[in-house]
Amino acid sequence: MDALKPHGWIILDKPLELGSTQAVGAVKRNLREAGLLGKGKDKLKVGHGGTLDPLATGILPIAIGEATKLCGRMLDASKIYEFTIGFGAETETLDVEGAVTETSDHRPTLADVEAVVPQFTGPIEQIPPKYSALKIDGKRAYDLARAGVAVEMKLRGVTIFSLTVRHPELVSGSQEVLKQVQDDELLEEITLIAKVSKGTYIRSLARDIARALNTVGHVTMLKRTKAGPFTLEQAISLDKLNEIGKGSDITDYLLPLEAGLDDIPAFDLTSDQAKLLRQGMTLDEREMIGNPALNGLFLATENQGSPVALAELVEGTVKVVRGFNM
């Protein structure tokens, strides 16, 4: 990697009250202070791989340079969240920020929650929060809601790949789970772990689970623990990020561009083949010596790993999906 032009991912463990756009701004500021951002036509692009609300914490993948060409792919990736539903009150924003709109004295038991969870696993339909970034007639839903405009949010299909109760009695450092919460104990809150498809609103999921339990609720805690291939183990704090601007080597915190493509195969091209793809040309599958029967998307590399393009093999022809200028 050219030290003056870093391309790759910084995985930020986003703190509370920091917006995704602010997080991108913080990365740009540190790159600028480190003399790495560049200027004019050489200025590096920086973007994020999936919005995370200011009241949420956890993984926010931030793409730098050529990795920004993969942001759309990251947006489409599945995510894992931990979230807590506080029972007894529903708010206009479906989280702790909004005013209470409905209350209930009913409280579910752990057995109730575990019985309802399967109803929200698999393909489901949900109504997004009216306080969301979805556009309605060209305007953000939250802008309309804040202006007092009646907003009709339409059902949308999403997939909940898994949904489980996170038992708070898991002892740190131990594999043993001691079930201290009794099945018939009335709960003020419950924490769940969900693996979801793109477009899923956890706040809506929490609202609907609470209503299915004959009560109301809202999200009191939300943490993203995985986004696509990225996990919390790869994430750095805002303090660590700020070390880059103070002179720390960015390579200590930067994951390579290809880290965002670890779910697809890679194939190393010859110099001539790489040159053709960089020129926007196609390749014949039969010309790819050593081709391990690739099919569909793959990462085309050169010189044992240097990214050339996100490519696709369709009916014997290799075409460029996104080219990388590195």
Rg (CA), the chain: 23
Q: What angle do CA 16, 128, 138 make, to 5 degrees?
A: 95
Distance from chain centroid for Cα 316: 33
CA dist 305 and 266 (Å) reads 8
How many Cα atoms are found within 13 Å in the side-chain-facing hemisphere of 81? 25
Q: Which residues contact 130 (CB under 8 A, 6 or more apart)?
A: 92, 141, 142, 144, 145, 151, 153
As to burial, measured by CB atoms within 10 angstroms (0-12 exposed, 13-18 middle, 19+ buried), residue 154 is exposed
Catalytic annotation, residues: 53
CA dist 225 and 157 (Å) reads 23
